[in-house]
Structures are given as C-alpha cells and as structure tokens.
Amino acid sequence: MDFGFNEQQEMMQTMARDFLAGEYSDKVLKAMVKDERGFTPEIWKKMAGMNLTGLALPEKYGGVGDFLDLTIVLEEMGRACFMGPFFATVVLGASAIMEAGSDEQKQKFLQGIAEGKVLMTLALTEPSAKYTADGIQVKAKPQGNDYIMSGTKLFVPDAHVADYIIYAARTGESKDPRDGVTLFIVDINTPGITRKPLKTIAGDKQCEVTFESVKVSRDNILGEIGKGWQYLEKVLQRANAARCAEMVGMAEQVLKMTLDYAKERAAFGHPIGAFQSIQHRCADMLIDVDGSRFVTYQAAWRINEGLEAGREAAIAKAWVSQACRRVMYSAHQVHGAIGFSEDHILHFYTKRARAYEFSFGGVDFHLEKLAEQYA
C-alpha cells in the first residue's frame, strides 16, 4: 500500500511544521511544562485561525480535511512535543460527538470546536485505570428528568481548562459489562464538580475529576442510553491511532537530534558518528521510526475509510510504543550524560513517550486484545 502523501497532505504537513517551528520552540515547550494551563490562548487562537481545530470534522459544522490530515498534523505536533488541549478536544471530545451526537449536539459542539471556542475532554478511566468496559463503575441514577452522578475519574486530560466533559457512567447492570454504559455531556461549571491537577513525569496536564451528586439533564445524554461503550470503542481506536502519530513524530525528531549530535560530538579525534557502533544504533532507530509510521498510517487509513480498525489500531499501539521506547533508549546512549541534563530537550521527549506508551492501554493490553481475536 502506498502511504505517500498527496499534494494537499504535503501542504498540510508543511503548514503545520512551519507553524510549530515558529510558535513552539524548545523554550516555549519548557515554559508550557511549568505553566499551570499548559498552553496559551494566543497559540490556540492562531491554530483555530488556521482551521487546525476543525481537522477531521464534517464541513457542514465548520470542519476541514479528514482523519489522515489530522494524523499528519498530530505527527508534526509530536515532532515539536506539543502540549495543550488539542488532543483532548479534537481527538477525544469531537470523536465522541461525531460517533454518538444528535444533529443538534453536533451543530452546537462541533461548530464550537472548529471555531476554537469550545474545549472538551473525555472522562473515562477510574481508580482501576482500566480501558475496558468493566472499569466503568461510577453510576448515574435517574431522578425525574435528570441523572445524579457521584464518583471519581482519574487521568482526565486537560480537564482543568475544558468547558465540557464527556462523562462515562453506568446506568444499568448486565452480565456483559459493555452494556449499561451511558455518555453524558457535562458543563464543567455544573455544581458538584471538583478538578484536581495531577503531577506527571511528562509535564502533560491530567486531572482527577470528582462528581458529588452532580445533576445532569437527560437532554445531555450522548447517544443511546446504555450503548455508550459501543461509541467509546470507536473513540479509543481513533485515540490510539492519533497517539501513535504523535509518538512517530517524537521518535523522528529524536532521531534527528541524535544524528546531529553524533556529527558534532568528537571523541578520539573523530565525530562519534564515524564509529560503527553509533551508526548501527542510528540505523536501528531509523528502522523503528519507519516501521512505526507504516503501522500508524495503516490504522489511520482504515479509520478514515470507515472500515473496522480495531485490529490495526491495537497492532499500531503495541508496536509503536515499543519502537518509540527503543528509539529514546538509543538516543540517550548516543547522547550520554548530556541527554539527562535539565537544560537539554531530549528528556522531555523521553518522559512524554513513556507516558504515551500507557495512555489508552499499554503494550500488554493491546497484545492481549490481539490474542483474543485469534484465540
């Protein structure tokens, strides 16, 4: 299969790369890691002005491009080690609305996302940290025309700046845990919601979100009652493919900085890149980067074509996670002690790659999913 970009995709890649190179330098990255919000409204407005926040959304709601275009941009964001509410809003929030939303909900929220006026996230995992249906234990109990919810969600990305949270709760019990899960669109200003930022090694912004007797109207239900997991499975496929795209960009950038360092760093009168052991490491890194890109775009292509992509998304997440880990390890071996220093940029990529490896299911989780399909 030919994964070469067409002219429009090449333009999208160039536009995103130039924008991030100009707006998201290493200095900005370091500042955003320390910043409580993790992004600046100025950069977000510029992204919205370039239609980046409308990527992969339907044109009638203000969107542009398709999921492959979004994958290309996410790869460039990974190259810059970009952080901010883009993934939570455009990948998680918008995907859930597109999968399950009514026409009215799509018009309201997708239009707002495309215009950069709405920030959204997905509250899925609980203290069990499972990405399976049985991990959703928070209950939503009916009360008249409303539902009352109490419980805690962990590792909710960018909840501290979100306007709305898509909240997964259990509205019914069944032998099959995939039945009885319902999605709710909850305004973050609803009484009873508490958000607590979590400290992470990667500097990405994740939160603990606690609901205490939060009242949500039936009108804010997303999709059919009790069918929420069916929608979430599709959202998680897109999330895993999108996360892989970020990791591909990160690995490619780390390979580049490793090659540059190997050309500049001299030992015994020669650049260390002249030594065969260094060359072998760099060659292995390139193989991992290229292989990761192929499996990522295979999954992204199937998602874009509306085909079943569960197997391909699991393969991509399992492979890219391991490959990206190997790339980061080799990069540190070549850089030596300087790669671990606070002033160098490499450790930001290493920490982020490690965090992304476990988001939406780690290697073992996806290998088990594949094993179940072939059992």
The 10s digit of each residue's pLDDT in 11-38 is 999 999 999 999 999 999 999 999 999 9
Q: Report how many domains make up the chain.
A: 3
Q: Round the average pLDDT of the chain to a whole number and report it.
A: 96
Q: What is the pLDDT of residue 374?
A: 74
Contact 117, 108 (CB under 8 A): no
The CATH number assigned to the domain holding 202 equals: 2.40.110.10
Claim to verify: residue 302 and residue 272 sit in the same structural domain: yes
Claim to verify: residue 250 and residue 361 sit in the same structural domain: yes
User: Which residues sit opposite 279 in a β-bridge?
Assistant: none
Q: How far apart are alpha carbons 217 and 230 in whole angstroms?
A: 22
Tell me what the mean pLDDT of segment 298-304 comes to: 97
Q: What is the pLDDT of residue 375?
A: 63
Claim to verify: residue 198 and residue 136 sit in the same structural domain: yes
Report pLDDT digits (tens) over 46-99. Answer: 999 999 999 999 999 999 999 999 999 999 999 999 999 999 999 999 999 999
Which residues does 94 contact at the CB level (< 8 Å), separation at least 6?
Answer: 56, 57, 109, 110, 113, 120
pLDDT exceeds 80 at position 246 = yes
The CATH number assigned to the domain holding 23 equals: 1.10.540.10
Q: Is residue 287 part of a domain?
A: yes
Q: How far apart are alpha carbons 117 and 51 in whole angstroms?
A: 12
Rounded to 5 degrees, φ, ψ at 194 are -120, 130
Claim to verify: residue 36 and residue 76 sit in the same structural domain: yes
Tell me what the mean pLDDT of segment 204-216 comes to: 97
The CATH number assigned to the domain holding 330 equals: 1.20.140.10
Claim to verify: residue 40 and residue 146 sit in the same structural domain: no
Q: Is residue 41 part of a domain?
A: yes
Report pLDDT digits (tens) over 327-349. Answer: 999 999 999 999 888 889 999 99
Q: Is residue 135 part of a domain?
A: yes
Claim to verify: residue 202 and residue 287 sit in the same structural domain: no
Extract the tokens encoding 251: 């690995």
More confident residue, 174 or 248: 248
* Domain stops at, among 61, 94, 118: 118
* DSSP-derived secondary structure letter, 227: B
Tell me what the mean pLDDT of segment 351-355 comes to: 96
Contact 178, 133 (CB under 8 A): yes
Q: Is residue 38 part of a domain?
A: yes
**CA-atom Rg of the chain in angstroms:** 21
Claim to verify: residue 160 and residue 30 sit in the same structural domain: no
Claim to verify: residue 255 and residue 326 sit in the same structural domain: yes
Which residues does 339 contact at the CB level (< 8 Å), separation at least 6?
Answer: 331, 332, 346, 347, 350
* Domain stops at, among 210, 225, 240: 225
Q: Is residue 2 part of a domain?
A: no
Claim to verify: residue 200 and residue 92 sit in the same structural domain: no
What is the percent of the chain with per-residue pLDDT over 90, rounded to a whole number? 94
Claim to verify: residue 14 and residue 61 sit in the same structural domain: yes
What is the percent of the chain with per-residue pLDDT over 70, rounded to a whole number? 99
Claim to verify: residue 349 and residue 249 sit in the same structural domain: yes
pLDDT exceeds 90 at position 162 = yes
Rounded to 5 degrees, φ, ψ at 324 are -65, -35
Q: How far apart are alpha carbons 325 and 356 in whole angstroms?
A: 10
Q: What is the pLDDT of residue 291?
A: 97
Claim to verify: residue 72 and residue 114 sit in the same structural domain: yes
Q: What is the pLDDT of residue 148?
A: 97
pLDDT exceeds 90 at position 373 = no
Q: Is residue 84 part of a domain?
A: yes
* Domain stops at, among 177, 197, 225: 225
Tell me what the mean pLDDT of segment 289-310 comes to: 96
Q: Is residue 1 part of a domain?
A: no
Q: What is the pLDDT of residue 1?
A: 62
For 333, the enclosing helix (H) or strand (E) is: helix 310-335
Which residue range forms the structural domain that includes residue 81?
Answer: 7-118
